[in-house]
Amino acid sequence: MREIKNFFIRHTISTPISIGTWLYLILGTSLSIFAATGLGIALYLGSTFAIKQIQITSTIKRVGLNRSEFNYINGQMNDAKQKLKRLNSYYGKVRSVQAFKQLHEINTISRRILSIVRTNPEKFYHAENFFYAHLDSAVELTSKYAILVNQPLKDKELQIALQNTRNTLADVNQQLEQDLRNLLASDMERLQMELDFVDVTMNKKKPLLEMKGDDTTNDRK
């Protein structure tokens, strides 16, 4: 969501600046329309790039990372997106309701993890196993399952291999669920602390409210 917001901010700022400059160059200078258009496009691209760098710097400061860490995490995110695209390409090849369901669950959890890390890059370190191992395992196992299930052979050994692969995919799915829990753990702890604080605050106010209620009752007597 923040990426989309930043995208619109960049182009909302750059567009009027470049158009205004283009009009000034055409109407207020002796430049040809081609030269003015070229300068306007260059200004648009340059201002968009500059604003994007400012936004990246702001994000880096907000999450407490340095630029090299931020760039590394972005690289890992891009790799994970490519792996997820490959994983999605097997939807029409698994030919099994159970395997299709597993693939859907893996895809859903993986997208959720990527969404969280995209919004909060510092959380990458809570899901390193997802990026370094678990997503790779899901892709490779699904790939092998797709190959096996499309073989013309239907002997017992093949059926055993398919079942073992489905079982292993179920284990990988559990690992992905744990990766997601690790990402959400700090948020859940923070929420619990806030709930505990509210409870303590409310409990402190209750005696005062009860005392006021007693005073009102006595006054009526």
Between 189 and 34, the higher pLDDT residue: 34
Burial class (CB in 10 A: 0-12, 13-18, 19+), 91: middle
pLDDT at 203: 65
Global pTM value: 0.68
Banded pLDDT at 155 (limits 50, 70, 90): confident
Predicted confidence (pLDDT) at residue 10 exceeds the cutoff of 70: yes
Residue-wise pLDDT for 84-126, tens only, equals: 999 999 888 877 788 888 889 999 999 999 998 988 888 898 8
pLDDT, mean of residues 160-167: 88
Report which of 85, 112, 110 is spatially closest to residue 169, judged by C-alpha positions. 110
Phi-psi region of 66 (alpha: psi -120 to 50; beta: other; left: phi over 0): beta
Residue-wise pLDDT for 15-47, tens only, equals: 888 888 888 888 877 778 888 888 888 888 888
The torsion defined by the Cα of 179, 181, 186 and 187, in degrees rounded to 10, comes to 130
Across 157-187, b (16+ Cβ under 10 Å) vs e yields eeeebbeebbeebeebbebbeebbebbeeee
